[in-house]
Each structure stands twice: as C-alpha cells, then as structure tokens.
C-alpha cells in the first residue's frame, strides 16, 4: 500500500526547513537508502534517504519550498501497479485534518468525567473542557514551550522549586525545553550537573526530603536506568517506609520512547515500567495543554512524579489556554473524540496513531471514541470502563513493548469490571517485541502504525 514520506528533522529542535532539492521525480523506483532529497535549515544541509523501496508516486512538496514543517508529508511512495494519484489522494485526505503540525492538532472533545452519552460528534474546534472557563483565549504553542512555561510559572510561584540536570542551564536543555530559565532564575535554581544520573537523582531525592521541590531533567529516560535504585528504592518508597514522616516532592522529567533513528539504547518507552511502581505518579501527556497543566500539578504535589515526554512531540503545536494558572489533576482521562462503535485508549505519542486511525474510521462510517489517559498512575480506568459499556469494544494503542504493557493492564481491568459488556476480546496494539532497530525501514516495522490500529478495530468490530 502507499506510504507517505515525511519531512525529516535534522536536529531535536528543528521545527521546519527548506526542501532544497529532489533527486528523484515521479515514477522513479527507489530502494531503501537511496538519497532522494536534500533538506536545509539555517544551520545545516542533510541528504535524505528513502526508508522503503517503491515508486515515487507523487511529489507533494516542490523543491525550493521553504518553511516546510517537520513531519509534513512531502511525497507518496507506491508499490508496483498501484495508482499513484489514488494513493496520493487518499493519503492527502487522511492528513488533511490531523497531520500538519503547523496547522494545529484537533482539540479534545471533553474530559472524561463530563463525557455525555455520545453520538458521532466530530472533534469540535474549541474544547468543551470544564478545566477551561468559557471564553478563554487560546494560544498556539509547542509542547516544548508549554513545558518551559509550566516550569517558569511554578518557579515564580515557589522559590523552593529548582531545575537540575545535564545541560539544562547554559545550553538550555538538550531539547531546548529549559530555554530562558537560567536568565530568569539564575544558576542557583537552574543547575547544570555532570553526566551522573545515579548521583544527581540521589541529590534531588535528598534535597526533596528536606523540603525543596526539585525538577530533574533526564536528557532522556533511557539514561535514568542508571538512577533506577534512587528512583524506586528511595524516592518512591521513602514516604511509606518512614510511616509518612517524609515526603519526596520531586519531578523526574524528560523524553521517553522512540525518537528517530537512534536505535535500541535511546528509544525505550518507559510507560509500563514506572506505572508498575506504587509510590510514584506517572504522567505521559500528548498535547501541549496537557503537558503544561499536568507538569504544573506534578511540581506542586508532594509525591514523586515520573513525567514522560516525547522527543517527536516537543515541536508539535497545540492550542493552550491562556490562563494564569492552568493545572490539570492527575487521574483524569481526556476524551478527544466521542463515538459509539469502538473505544480507542492511548496516551502520549500513541495518540498520534490513534487520532489518525479514528479519522480514517470515521470516513468508513465507524465511530470511534478516543480516550487519552494522560496519567498512567493514577489511571482513569473508570473513564475506559464507562466508554466500553457504551461501545462494547476496545483497542489500546502504545509504542511500548507488548509484555506487561499498559494495554495488558487495561484489558485485565475490563475483563474484571466490564466483562458482560464486551462483544469482542480487547486488542492491545503495541510496539514490536524487539529492541529498537536502527535501519529506517526496520524501525518503522518495530513501531506500531495507523494500519495496525485500523486492523485491530476491524477485528473487534468483526468487519
């Protein structure tokens, strides 16, 4: 089937670039690894390779185009005998409303506990969200900016809040999340550490036990495995072990999950790992608004929080309410689309696949309800159960590994608490059970896909 070729990112912070040159034209055959285009930013030029073999069916963005947003489809690759125009049309259509980051993401329908009886309401453009008063002005911003704003607002409000981690101060974060913080708050509150995860995680935990509120940035959560003992044995367990004498108000935040072409040691999804641990709270936001609101809540709380961000989402733009104090409670899912035929449950970057799949399903007359869990511990299973009692079918979507996954847990909860309402087994769409490969085509296969979500929905709806 046709696959789209997306505008690549040359660096973690790149949001757009120039498609300087096409080395192929429509109708050309390409193999994985062929240099098909040249991409430029003000800093660098990159040769862009094909990830799959196929025929260039359609070029969607002409060479010389400037300001092309990262992840915008720039061409369509088709298989031998496939109609280029039809394939291109269907890909374009599917992307029309959900894909271009620059054009903004769809807004959520409602938060879960306010969800009405449903219907086939398409995603409204202004969220009907009780956390946001009517008439609130919305501002488009990236997840990166939203995270920075959350930290800055909480640091202004409470002098006990400080940020520490590798390259967070002078360099402003490996993914530029802490931009401007050193200037505003100075080196005492924005602390550059050596590359010493076990060490600075311990320091933050000790500082938190004494009343400060550290935010620890892990450059990525892959490196936090070095610090696992301090996170689990100390931060998560101290309050319980001490019979409530001491709390550990610390936030551990950073990128988790696959980025692009960084292979096995830099691509792990930690959602299920941390969600397993009593004593931790775990958030994994998708939108910029949720990233901001949840991070503010995380910083204020007295429980240690694992805050799982995603490198690919940092540059995505969403509408964020312009409110003085937008904090979102943990343990409340957000419903992005209401529907009757199937419940799709996801979180974090899994929402990308899920929302795209829901859009395609709508075109085929299947009304999917899309639930973004937002926090994994506590987890709003009540919202999922409520939805499944309406739709009678459920598919979970995540990028993490299949064994002991978040989807497995949701399936078990539904078995116990909504068994009589289920008309089909719950299917967990996950990443593949392999370390992340490097080659682009293999990486693509190791991740999940919109097609897999669609196939799972087909199965649970017996179509």
Residues annotated as catalytic are: 197, 266
- Residue with structure tokens 């490198």? 311
Q: How far is the CB of 199 from another protein (least distance, A)?
A: 3
Instruction: CB nearer to another protein: give 195 or 412.
Output: 195
Closest-CA residue to 255 (of 178, 175, 310, 316): 310
35-40: strand order across its sheet: 45-49, 35-40, 16-22, 65-69
125 binds another protein (CB under 8 A): no
Number of residues that bind another protein (CB under 8 A): 42
Instruction: CB nearer to another protein: give 190 or 388.
Output: 190
* CB distance 405 to 373 below 8 Å: no
The one among 1, 242, 322, 438 contacting another protein by CB under 8 A: 242
Q: Find the distance separating the first CA and the last CA of the chain, reported in whole Å.
A: 20
Cα separation, 268 vs 257, whole angstroms: 5
Task: Tell how strand 317-321 and strand 138-142 pair up.
Answer: antiparallel
Q: How far is the CB of 21 from another protein (least distance, A)?
A: 48
Instruction: CB nearer to another protein: give 241 or 434.
Output: 241
Query: Is residue 441 helix, strand or coil?
Result: helix
Instruction: CB nearer to another protein: give 203 or 260.
Output: 203
Q: How far is the CB of 49 from another protein (least distance, A)?
A: 39
170 binds another protein (CB under 8 A): no
The one among 81, 117, 133, 243 contacting another protein by CB under 8 A: 243
Cα separation, 34 vs 5, whole angstroms: 13
Q: How far is the CB of 149 from another protein (least distance, A)?
A: 23
Cα separation, 95 vs 448, whole angstroms: 18
Q: How many CA atoms lie within 13 A of 128 on its CB side?
A: 14
Interacting residues with another protein between 277 and 316 (CB under 8 A): 278-279, 281, 301-303
The one among 42, 80, 119, 245 contacting another protein by CB under 8 A: 245
Query: Is residue 180 helix, strand or coil?
Result: coil
Closest-CA residue to 2 (of 96, 84, 97, 100): 84
Q: How far is the CB of 208 from another protein (least distance, A)?
A: 7
Instruction: CB nearer to another protein: give 193 or 405.
Output: 193
Q: How far is the CB of 160 from another protein (least distance, A)?
A: 8
Part of the chain binding another protein (CB under 8 A), chosen from 42-50, 134-142, 273-281, 386-394? 273-281
The contact mask relative to another protein for 192-211 (x = CB under 8 A, - = no) is: -xx-x-xxxxxxxxxxxxxx
Q: How far is the CB of 131 from another protein (least distance, A)?
A: 18
Interacting residues with another protein between 376 and 435 (CB under 8 A): none
247 binds another protein (CB under 8 A): yes
Phi/psi of residue 74, nearest 5 degrees: -110, -15
Instruction: CB nearer to another protein: give 276 or 389.
Output: 276
Find the length of the chain: 463
Whether the upstream peptide bond of residue 378 has omega within 30° of 0, thus cis, is: yes
Cα separation, 371 vs 387, whole angstroms: 9
Q: List residues near another protein by CB under 8 A.
A: 162, 188-189, 193-194, 196, 198-212, 229-230, 233-234, 238-247, 249, 278-279, 281, 301-303
């Amino acid at each position: 089937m046709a696959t789209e070729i997306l505008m690549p990112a040359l660096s973690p912070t790149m949001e757009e670039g120039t498609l300087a040159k096409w080395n192929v034209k429509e109708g050309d055959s390409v193999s994985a690894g062929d240099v098909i285009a040249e991409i430029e930013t003000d800093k660098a030029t990159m040769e862009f390779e094909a990830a799959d073999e196929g025929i260039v069916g359609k070029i969607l963005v002409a060479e010389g185009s400037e300001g092309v947003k990262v992840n915008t489809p720039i061409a369509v690759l088709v298989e031998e005998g496939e109609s280029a125009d039809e394939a291109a049309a269907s890909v374009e259509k599917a992307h029309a409303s959900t894909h271009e980051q620059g054009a903004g993401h769809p807004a959520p329908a409602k938060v879960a506990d306010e969800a009405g009886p449903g219907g086939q309401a398409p995603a409204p453009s202004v969220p009907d969200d009780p956390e946001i008063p009517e008439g609130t002005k919305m501002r488009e911003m990236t997840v990166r900016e939203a995270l920075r704003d959350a930290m800055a607002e909480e640091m202004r409000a409470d002098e006990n809040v400080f940020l520490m981690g590798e390259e967070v101060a002078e360099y402003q974060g490996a993914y530029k999340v802490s931009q401007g913080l050193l200037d505003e708050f100075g080196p005492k509150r924005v602390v550059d550490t050596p590359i010493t995860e076990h060490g600075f995680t311990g320091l933050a935990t000790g500082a938190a036990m004494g009343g400060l509120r550290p935010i620890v940035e892990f450059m990525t959560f892959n490196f936090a495995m070095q610090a696992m003992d301090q996170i689990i044995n100390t931060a998560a367990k101290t309050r319980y072990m001490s019979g409530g004498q001491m709390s550990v108000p610390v936030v551990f935040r950073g990128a988790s999950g696959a980025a692009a072409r960084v292979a096995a040691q830099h691509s792990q999804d930690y959602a299920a790992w941390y969600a397993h641990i009593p004593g931790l709270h775990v958030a994994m936001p998708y939108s910029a608004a949720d990233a901001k609101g949840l991070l503010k809540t995380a910083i204020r709380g007295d429980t240690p929080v694992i805050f799982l961000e995603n490198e690919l989402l940092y540059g995505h733009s969403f509408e964020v309410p312009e409110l003085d104090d937008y904090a979102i409670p943990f343990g409340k899912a957000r419903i992005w689309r209401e529907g009757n035929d199937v419940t799709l449950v996801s979180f974090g970057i899994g929402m990308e696949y899920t929302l795209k799949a829901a859009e395609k399903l709508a075109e085929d007359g299947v009304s999917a309800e899309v639930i973004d869990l937002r926090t994994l511990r506590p987890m709003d299973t009540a919202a999922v159960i409520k939805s499944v009692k309406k739709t009678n079918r459920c598919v979970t979507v995540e990028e993490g590994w299949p064994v002991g996954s978040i989807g497995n847990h949701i399936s078990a909860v539904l078995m116990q608490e909504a068994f009589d309402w289920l008309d089909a087994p719950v299917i967990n769409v996950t990443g593949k059970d392999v370390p992340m490969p490097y080659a682009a085509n293999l990486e693509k296969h190791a991740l999940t896909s919109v097609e897999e979500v669609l196939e799972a929905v087909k199965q649970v709806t017996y179509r």
